[in-house]
Amino acid sequence: MKKKSRFLQTPIEPFVVEEGLSADALLARMERISFQGRNLATAHRIWQKMLQDDVTIFLGMAGALSAGGLRMIVAYLIANRYVDVLVSTGANLYHDLHETRGRRHYVGSTHADDAALAHDRIDRVYDTYASEEEFIDNDNWVAKFAASLDKRPYTSREFLHLLGGHLWDTTGQDGILTAAYRAKVPIFCPAIADSSIGMGLSQARQHVPGAGYIDIIGDIVESANIVIRRPRTASVVLGGGTPKNFINQASVQAEFYSDQVGGHSYALQIVTDVPHYGGASGSSLEEAQSWGKLSVDSDKVSVQADATIALPILTTALAASARSIVAERRMPIFTLEGTMTIDGQPVPCNRFEEVNEPAV
C-alpha cells in the first residue's frame, strides 16, 4: 500500500448544526471547514494570541462601519482594551459623533429614488439613510468646539482626545470617541481633512482665524514613537484604506530610528478588496512583509469578507473566549493631554526618539 502523503494529515470536518452553540464554539468548529470561514476562525485564534503576548495592538477602521451599525463594537474593544491604539477614517468618527449626540442612522434601500432623497435632504450610504440637516448641525457643533481651543497646532490624536472629552461632558453617552477618551486610548485620523470633521474644522477657521490647525505630520512622528517605545506590535485592520497604511507606515518609520523594530508580530485584516489590482486596501499581508511592515515570522491571516458579517461574530466570540486573558493582560498605559506618554515615557510629536546611532 502506498504511503499516505504528508499533505493529507488533517481532514475537513463537516459542520454539524447544534442548537445554542456559542460564538467562540462556532469559530472553534470553523477552524476545520474551508475558505473564509476557516480564515475567520484563524483570526479569532490570532487575536487571542495578540492579547496573550506583550504587544501594542493597533486597530484600523475604514469604510462606513459606524453608519452601518458597528460603532458600539469598536467602543467595546476600546473600553475593554482588546486594542490599544485606533487609527480611523474621519467618516467613522463623524458618524460615531452623530449617534453619540443622539442622532440616528435609518434603515433604507438600495432601490431608493435618490432624487427624492435629495429633495428631502436625506443622505444615503448604500442601504442606510441619515439627515443632512442633522449633519449640518454636527458640523457647526464641531466648528464651535474647535474655535474654542487655544490657537496652536494639534495632532489629530490630541484634537480627537479633546473632542471625545467634550462629547462625553456634553452627552454622557458611550461611543468610540467617548470610550477612547475614558480609557485613555489614542485615536489617530491621518486623513481628517477628508471628512465632515475636517469640514467642521475649516468652518472654525472661517469664524476664528488660526483655529482648526491639525498637525498631520506630528501624527506620523507620534505613531512611530509609540512603536519605538514599544517595538513589538500587532495590527487588526477593518476595511483597508488610509488606516491600514498608516499603521504599517508607523512600523516602517520607527525602524528607521530603532533597530529594535522589526515589523508587526501579528496581523489580521478583514477586507473586501483584492490584491490583484495593486491597491493598498486589498494588498496581501505577505506583500507587507516585503516592505518590512510585518515581521517575516509574523502570525497573520486575511479574511475576505464584509466586516458587518465578520466583526460581530469575531468580537462576540472574543468577549467569551478572551475575557480572562484581557483581565491579566499587560497593556500599554497612555496619558493623552498635551505631550502623550506611554508607560511613563514621552511620545513627542516634534521629533523621533532615536535609538540607532545617527549616520555619519
Catalytic positions: 293
Q: Is beta strand 122-125 parallel, antiparallel or unpaired with respect to 187-188? A: unpaired
| Three-state secondary structure call for residue 308 | helix
- Are the CB atoms for 147 and 211 separated by under 8 Å? yes
Distance CA 286, CA 15 (A): 29
Burial degree of 133 (CB within 10 A; 0-12, 13-18, 19+): exposed
Q: Which amino acid is at 350?
A: N
DSSP 241-276: HHHHHHHHHHHHHHHHH-TT--SEEEEEEEES--GG
Residues 64/71, Cβ–Cβ less than 8 Å: no
Whats the size of the chain, residue-wise? Answer: 360
Which value, in Å, is the radius of gyration of the alpha carbons in the chain?
A: 21
Q: How far apart are CA 202 and CA 200, in angstroms?
A: 5
Sorted by sequence, the CB contacts under 8 Å of residue 285 that are 6+ apart come out as 267, 269, 294, 298, 300, 301, 302
